[in-house]
Structure 1
């Protein structure tokens, strides 16, 4: 098995704002360094001066510069030339996919210590264009720019995420009023958590940014006047859609055997989150926001637990409609009885959505709340994300001490 023993993230910045001048590896490097140092200072990596080096660094990323961003980030973090890197692209699920890949390598016995997470610099992502003659263009001699790579091939639905969120809201009867209320709640939770210092233990200053720059009070009267952002007559607005963002997140994963042996006669073993089960599924590409639901159901089935066994549930808040569709399907009320279980410190609607990192941010939130927050052994949590193209990914964890 695998235990998450440390988790850190940088502040999340809205694209074009506080982190706009930093390249992706410059966002990731200080976070990787901080989480490695956390694990070492906790006595989890052996004696001082001879810490265990990571067997690998696995980072999720969607729109980066190409190459092996994880390796570049590992080198920039000063982890040593012997530490390799693996860059994972599962779109909005990339951060969770990186954690799952690291867990699988450790569970297979191939590795004992891996840093995993994700990074996205939307501000510095390169423009993309088809080469002349490689795709239809005006004159076949000039590059043809395109906004994004396809999520599905010709013959399959391939909606942009905004219109897809409108379609999901309509299909699952998620009205505008509930979406507005959920977005306002996410921001209110994030503001309260910042004020209470609940993010302090996980944040690493990056560049000149020391806290998330987006959370703010949302006036319900203003929300009600906002126009549909993506589809004429649709229900999704700019306030109920997550912003394009920059950010990085990393977690330290140890084999259960190494973690179990890290305590000593003069100190207690550091607590962590044991990974219980994970799942990745495919779903209808016409409604990509639905993918989190079958992924959560599959992960829970593999874990032997139900929704009622979870103390905390983090679903990446790409859109309010998507989270509400998922919570409705799971029998949860995030605006009522389950407000303290579902994204209790706010989510991507308030903090921002750095695509390749957001899944890892969700697990970091579980770590901060459940482990650092003192929940007892056996307390369970879940992180999940819906993914463009019709996929979902979920991870079940439990506190160990």
Structure 2
């Protein structure tokens, strides 16, 4: 089968780039975006890079009514030698396809998707920030475009990739956050869509997050939807616990998102020889570990913050302070190692990085 070409329709009217000193997450967007169209029976076609612009859809488009949409999130980093680096992009597009399958949406050609991303980065190279701590956030997403009010999978879709220059997740680098354990609402259950990166999962989490924010907490930690006792994940992160020298993270069970950073942390810990286990862990076990002084560190993992140390957990009004509210040694080591690998300041021993020279010749 012939691989479809990518067509280019580039604008001469470039936006003024925001100051790198004041970048915030998700507010600024580059000059161009990638688009491909899908028609049932024909497949993906019309791969193109065009000026960034509003999307025009029929009011009856299925995405608006029945939520057929999935997305991904990854970053491009500028190294000191001016090369552009991507961290495990193939894993993001594998996960995109798993999400698409769960939502009865057509899967994308992963190699073609990465090619489209690289071509878009070539066009938008100047948008990759130079200031340390900044990066170019990459948002691939697929939406159902067919105008139809029947409850059925759409027959037409569009695949987009948009780019947004972003600053450091935290104003003053890595520091512990406070987390509220959610006891009223449920994010997902086994057999549902919790393992897919789809919009509805995030919309259903907003009410609990609103409550947590009002109480001064940064994130919500979700419990399982059946017994309401086992830890699942945090709002925008997977979660890890260091208990008596062992690192434990909830096992993937169909209701937990399989994070790329989560996968990388597990592999990195194993590479170091640090005990790491994926299993069910209850709040009762965590509370007991805290009471005995064995709960040494808690940290979240995700694309946005990489590693987010947790300094406090609030479970039913019981406050559990972790490591005196300070960043733990393991959390700091993981953060430093992963960010240095992403930026080319440390050897990429596990071969995670796709590296591009300033002229975009792949060398790794």
Assess same fold via TM > 0.5: no
- Ranked by relative contact order (alpha carbons within 8 Å, sequence separation 6 or more), the top structure is 1
Q: Quick check: which one's strand share is greater?
A: 2
TM-score calculated relative to the size of structure 2? 0.27
Superposition TM-score, scaled by structure 1 size:
0.25
